[in-house]
Copies of this chain bind each other. A is one copy, B any other.
Amino acid sequence: MLLRTTTSSIRPVDGHLAALAGERVFCSEFRYRRGTEVFGEGEETEYVYQIISGAVRTYKLLADGRRQINSFHLPGDMFGLENGATHRFTAEAVVETRVRITKRRSLLETMQQRESGASSFLGLVTRNLQHAENHMLLLGRKTALERVAAFLLELDERLGQPGILVLPMSRRDIADYLGLTLETVSRACSTLRDQKMLRFEGATQRQIVLLYRKGLAEYDA
């Protein structure tokens, strides 16, 4: 699945990845077209990725095609750094996405030399675990409306622009993240719109303005 477009040959760059690993780590930039795979479940964990722009989804599949998206990765987020030798899920570009790539090996070596590096790695895994724990509560016990409200608040926090969401992912992606169907997600959004908690902006339904975050937070429970 190497549909990568190299936009710059191997060179040192600044930013989180480089900062985390030290100046001597060399990174390169790649570009993934929407829908292309970054890595697959079971593949060797050779690289570590950081998103420059765009978005990536990581997911697991059941034999009959049912999909569960673990998480969305947005600009600034690192992903693909794992303890084991193989990836436990698939990563795909949600939209045209630029990523910074580093050899896992060189990053880990640099990490081990530094106190803060090791705790960064642990911190990364811990943050993922924490997110997973909260998501299990959502998937196991929340209603459709609560899930969608929680999703909107989560993305609102992560996308920078408070109150204004430009979602990179489709309703189907959201559904597979929240353990729902795309129709149910759509209906929940419409319900929240009717309740004046949000408003669609512009031509598409992917630009959302949050009008009453307190109300959403109450749904979030």
Interface residues of A (CB under 8 A from B): 60, 62-64, 66-68, 70, 82-84, 88-89, 118, 121-123, 125-126, 128-130, 132-137, 139-142, 176, 178-179, 221
Partner of A221, one of B62, B130, B176: B62
- The reply to whether B221 and A63 form a contact with Cβ atoms under 8 Å apart is yes
Chain B residue contacts of A84, Cβ below 8 A: 126
- Majority-rule SS of A interface residues: helix
Partner of A83, one of B126, B140, B176: B126
Chain B residue contacts of A67, Cβ below 8 A: 141
- The reply to whether B70 and A179 form a contact with Cβ atoms under 8 Å apart is no
Least CB distance from A73 to B in Å reads 15
Would A133 and B63 be within 8 Å (CB), given that A139-B179, A179-B140 are in contact?
no
Known: A68-B141, A83-B123, A83-B126. 11 other contacts (CB 8 A): A60-B133, A64-B221, A66-B141, A66-B142, A68-B137, A88-B130, A118-B118, A122-B122, A125-B129, A136-B136, A139-B140
Chain B residue contacts of A125, Cβ below 8 A: 122, 125-126, 129
